[in-house]
Amino acid sequence: MKTLSTTESGFEQQFEALLADRDTAQDVHAPVAAIIADVRARGDVALCELTAKYDRLTLTADTLRFTEAEIDAALAAVPADLLAALDLAAARIEAFHRAQLPNDICFTDAAGLTLGMRWGALDAVGLYVPGGKAAYPSSVLMNAIPARVAGVKRVAMVVPTPDGVVNNLVLAAAHRAGVSEIYRVGGAQAVAALAYGTATIAPVDRIVGPGNAYVAEAKRQVFGRVGIDSIAGPSEVLILADASNDPRHIAVDLLAQAEHDELAQAVLITDDAGFGARVAQAVEHELLSLPRAAIAGASWRDHGAVIVVRNWDEAVELTNRIAPEHLEIMLPDPQPVFACIRHAGAAFLGRFCPEAIGDYVGGPNHVLPTGRSARFASGLSVFDFLKRTTWINASEAGLQAVGPAAVALAEAEGLQAHARSVAIRLGNQPR
């Protein structure tokens, strides 16, 4: 774990190194390209062979998809308290995303043209859900519910089941989110199937959901054929906290991100060096009893940091440069600082709002921009499942008002057919 201070010489170089210390993306372009080509060429046969190879699971085209009976059995196996928790989370997620639904635009301007913009849902979306080391039913809700709220008619979900092990809560979350088309495949091969289709899996228009390096690279390679949400990197959290906080609370919040992945990054910015040291000590103490201590410890050791600043203006400046996926502002009055933050995927304000609330039951989406991409990207929302279509209705009088300018611009660009298509309607071109 690194300790930095803005008062020390060399801080800028240390800070830049902190920003860059996870730029070690695994190069899997060639094997992913080969997998995609194989699925395109051989469809279900390749999909089944690759599943046997990577997930040690023998499938046929007839067993790629979970049956309704299997989904019902999984649902029945989930304890009632967990189903209630899913219902609470789903209801809150749906309510927040339903509030995002935009209105169409239609107005007549001064020239007499009627202009508009119409929103419409995508036809089909593919949802990738990780399996194996960890499974995330919360991600099923976060990806599927906005699609359903947006009006997407078909949501196809792929989830690997290594060695045939099924996560019942993942299937229960899919059922709660209204997803019934579920396939037991994963990896780059599942992304290829969603993008190009096979005899069993029809292609989709957009693929969303997190995955490993192979899944991320596959999404990169099929982009253009289909839309994607983002190329997600390891999780990250930045916490701004003063000494009024309990050091253990902040330590556990840091570890809540560190336990995701050895490459995850957890950073504390504080105006009190002593408090920062107490948080670091509390992290080490919590690691002694944390089940995922090996993962969280590696993340904290290799990528974690405590940064001591002179004041919160400095903290704001550093936050905007980091552009974190998750931002906790653990201050007695967080709003003035939050008002100055331009770049963050999602913010959690006040000491009673740990980021983990947002992962499950807050309501806003937990699929967020990583790797400083919050500078130009946003979290998943209903807008990821909608398209905009603009339209114009022009009367003869409206064309007379604006058409001559269009003719002049088209002629200036040397596009005579463009100019003529307007001019003949103005009566300025011989037949």
Among 198, 190, 185, smallest CA distance to 222 is for 190
Say if residue 132 is in the same domain as residue 75.
yes
- Which position has the token pair 């979970």? 66
Residues 404 and 292 occupy one common structural domain: no
Residue ending a domain, among 228, 243, 270, is: 228
Q: What distance lies between CA 385 and its chain's CA centroid?
A: 13
Which of 362, 387, 409 is the C-terminal boundary of a domain?
A: 362
Q: What CA–CA distance (Å, rounded) separates 392 from 193?
A: 38
14 close to 4: Cβ distance less than 8 angstroms: yes
pLDDT at 210: 87
Query: Do 185 and 265 share a structural domain?
Result: no
Give pLDDT, residue 100: 97
Decide if 49 is catalytic: no
| List 175, 303, 326, 366, catalytic entry | 326
Dihedral (CA of 170, 172, 178, 182) sign: positive
Residue 333 and residue 415 in one domain:
no
> Is residue 310 a part of any domain in this protein?
yes
Single out the catalytic residue among 236, 325, 328, 355: 325
Residues 137 and 74 placed together within one structural domain of the fold: yes
Asked if residue 9 and residue 73 are part of one domain, the reply reads no
Does some domain include residue 93?
yes
As a dihedral over the C-alpha atoms of residue 413, residue 414, residue 417, residue 421, rounded to 10 degrees, the angle is: 40
Q: What share of the chain is helix, strand, coil (3-state, %, to 5)?
A: 50, 15, 35
Same domain, 211 and 190: yes
Are residues 13 and 91 located together in one domain of the fold?
no
Residues 347 and 412 in one domain: no
**Could you say which of 228, 251, 266 is where a domain stops?**
228
E strand intervals along 303-396:
305-308, 326-330, 346-349, 386-393
Q: Which alpha helices (H) appear in 135-292, and where do they start and end?
A: 137-150, 168-176, 187-196, 213-222, 247-258, 273-287
Strand order in the sheet with 305-308: 2-5, 305-308, 265-270, 236-241, 326-330, 346-349
Largest CA distance in the chain: 87
Short-list 235, 228, 233, CA closest to 204: 228
pLDDT tens digit at each of 431 positions of the chain: 899 999 999 999 999 999 987 665 668 999 999 999 999 999 999 999 999 999 999 999 999 999 999 999 999 999 999 999 999 999 999 999 999 999 999 999 999 999 999 999 999 999 999 876 567 899 999 999 999 999 999 999 999 999 999 899 999 999 999 998 999 999 999 999 999 999 999 999 999 998 888 999 999 999 999 999 988 888 999 999 999 999 999 999 999 999 998 999 999 999 999 999 999 999 999 999 999 999 999 999 999 999 999 999 999 999 999 999 999 999 999 999 999 999 999 999 999 999 999 999 999 999 999 999 999 999 999 999 999 999 999 999 999 999 999 999 999 999 999 999 999 999 876 55
Q: Which residues span the domain enclosing 178? A: 29-98+113-228
Neighbouring CB atoms inside 10 A of 129's CB total: 27
DSSP 289: T
Alpha-carbon span 56 to 50, nearest angstrom: 9
- What pTM, to 2 d.p., does this model score? 0.92
For 30, 32, 128, 254, the CA distances from 221, given in Å and listed in that order, are: 11, 8, 15, 33
Assess contact for 75 and 227: CB atoms under 8 A: no
pLDDT at 234: 87
In a domain, 410, yes or no: yes
Provide the Cα torsion 178, 181, 182, 186; round to 10°: -120
Task: Kindly state whether residue 104 falls inside one of the protein's structural domains.
Answer: no
Q: Look at residue 375 and tell me if it is in a domain.
A: no
Q: What distance in Å separates the CA atoms of residue 363 and residue 204, rounded to the nearest whole number?
A: 26
Count of domains for the chain: 3
Residue 368 lies in a domain: no
What DSSP assignment string belongs to 154-185? EEEEE---GGG---HHHHHHHHHTT--EEES-
Single-letter residue type at 250 = I
Q: For residue 366, what pLDDT is reported?
A: 94
Q: Do 247 and 197 belong together in one domain? A: no
Amino acid, single-letter form, for residue 64: L
- For 180, the token pair is 């019934």
Same domain? For 197 and 241 the reply is no
Return the structure tokens found at 219: 């999404």
Q: How far is CA 149 from the centre of its chain?
A: 17
For CA atoms 175, 179, 183, 187, the dihedral sign is: negative
Residue 215 falls within a domain, yes or no? Answer: yes
CATH of the domain at 208: 3.40.50.1980
Residue 377 lies in a domain: no
Residue 303 is among the residues annotated as catalytic for this protein: no
Pair (40, 158) in one structural domain: yes
Do 44 and 200 contact (CB within 8 A), yes or no? yes
Residue 384 tokens read as 């990821």
CA 24 to the chain's CA centroid: 20
